[in-house]
Amino acid sequence: MQKERQYRNRRSFLKSAAIVAAGWFVNKTGQAEGQSSSMRPLFDGKTLDGWIQIQNSATSFSGNDIIDPAGLAKKLSDKSDPVSAFLSDLLDETGKTSLTTIATGTGDMKQARSGLAKNLTRIISSSSVYEAKRFQHIVLRPETQQPLKEPHGAELVHLNRLLLEDVFPQELSKTANNGWTVKDGLMASTGSGRGVIYTANDYSRFRLMFTMRHVSGDPDHQACVLLFCTRPQEGELPLDALAGIQFQVPRGGHWDYRPGHNNNGGTEFTLVTKSDYDPHQWSRVEILADASKGRAGMAVAQPPETKAVEVLDFADASAGKAGPIALQMHNAGLFDEYKDLLIDTNPTDELITVK
């Protein structure tokens, strides 16, 4: 597929519309000066109404979730209780090798923790780990006991994780309830772990405007917006990053999370301008997307009141799909802030903040 360059050339993505963006300041009502009245808020600065959160840690384990690898490895190796014995018998060769590596303290410990975590994720994703006799001596939290009757799908996997947390309270970290919160009128990530917050509505053709900054990260990663996402169906496990197309703001990094891809893409992404934006400073971002064409472009203004510069293009017709828009916390330890999130679902066919 030959990639068209309408966004970059600025003259040919249909035809330019007669709208002039005269400085995109945000006033006290949350509407940007000079913007079309068709822009409407996605975030009221008070609640997260209209948004849905998903924490990856609710239905999986990562190596970082194993906070006492030696303690967990010993219990599984010794089969020190019925649950440990149950898990130990279900480990594959990678899991058994990981136990040996951790127990002996030799070899690649990070890889061993990851291998053990993948085994635990596989186990909790397959079927219920609960059996009354197996858990008869385990003290369960109220939130673990509540859904014990007949959970299924994602609820079952989440329950399985909670059950293992109760069995190994010193060895496994607890699942965070919320990855995002409202703080001083901002939508802010809490640093709790990998996950997304996504819109309750689906969007196909839209202009998205927002102001953002990346506060800190340990380990660090740019703030991320996901387009053309796949909405999770009730009871199903969500795809990682909702299988979306990732735009990293404000500098224009990117990733393709679609099944069969999961890479930083090829010619479908074009870094139009290599910027030196400081991600810790406030930036005003415009994203123009059209799912029917699989096309999206991003412009960034830093400081927010200045003229924007086009940073990133994406074009792949096979990627376009109507779906939610998501903000992604790529990993634990990230703190990002967003405000003045606005959307126009009948936009003109050009980035307007670059004028």
Residue in the structure block whose two tokens are 């202009």: 207
The torsion angle over the Cα atoms of residues 255, 259, 261 and 264, rounded to 10 degrees, is: 10
- pLDDT value at position 25? 39
Mean pLDDT of the chain: 89
Residue with more model confidence, 22 or 110 = 110
- pLDDT value at position 82? 97
- Say if residues 307 and 355 touch (Cβ distance below 8 Å): yes
pLDDT of 17 over the 80 cut? no
The model's confidence at residue 207, banded by pLDDT at 50, 70 and 90, is: very high
pLDDT of 31 over the 60 cut? no
Give the pLDDT confidence of 93-143 residue by residue, as tens digits. Answer: 999 999 999 999 989 999 999 999 999 999 999 999 999 999 999 999 988
Comparing 19-33, 107-121, 219-233, 339-353, the range with the smallest average pLDDT is 19-33
pLDDT of 149 over the 80 cut? no
With residue 107 as reference, give the H or E element that holds it.
Answer: none
The hierarchical CATH code for the domain 6-55+178-344 is 2.60.120.560
pLDDT of 5 over the 80 cut? no
Q: Which two three-digit tokens encode residue 98?
A: 């990981």
The model's confidence at residue 36, banded by pLDDT at 50, 70 and 90, is: low
- Say if residues 168 and 295 touch (Cβ distance below 8 Å): no
SS3 (DSSP) at 47 = coil
With residue 247 as reference, give the H or E element that holds it.
Answer: strand 245-249
- pLDDT value at position 220? 96
Identify residue 274 by its one-letter amino acid code.
K
Give the pLDDT confidence of 182-203 residue by residue, as tens digits. Answer: 999 999 999 998 999 999 999 9
- Say if residues 160 and 153 touch (Cβ distance below 8 Å): no
Alpha carbon separation from 112 to 57, 97, 120, 297 (Å, rounded): 19, 8, 12, 40
The model's confidence at residue 148, banded by pLDDT at 50, 70 and 90, is: low
Strand boundaries in 47-194, DSSP class E: 51-55, 180-183, 186-189
- Say if residues 192 and 53 touch (Cβ distance below 8 Å): no
Percent of the chain at pLDDT > 70 equals 89
**CB proximity list for 237: less than 8 A, separation 6 or greater:** 59, 125, 153, 154, 157
CA angle 137, 140, 142 (to 5 degrees): 150
- pLDDT value at position 13? 35
- pLDDT value at position 58? 87
- pLDDT value at position 34? 42
- pLDDT value at position 11? 37
Buried b or exposed e, range 89-120, using 16+ CB within 10 angstroms = eebeebbbbbbebbbeeeeeeeebbbbbbbbb
Q: For the residues 279-305, what does the mean pLDDT come to?
A: 98
Q: For the residues 152-164, what does the mean pLDDT come to?
A: 90
The model's confidence at residue 57, banded by pLDDT at 50, 70 and 90, is: confident
- pLDDT value at position 157? 92
Q: Which two three-digit tokens encode residue 192?
A: 């709790």
Strand boundaries in 80-128, DSSP class E: none
Domain boundaries, the chain: 6-55+178-344, 62-167
Determine the Cα–Cα distance for residues 355 and 342; give it in Å rounded to an integer: 19
Determine the Cα–Cα distance for residues 10 and 12; give it in Å rounded to an integer: 6
pLDDT of 253 over the 90 cut? yes
Comparing 139-153, 176-190, 229-243, the range with the smallest average pLDDT is 139-153
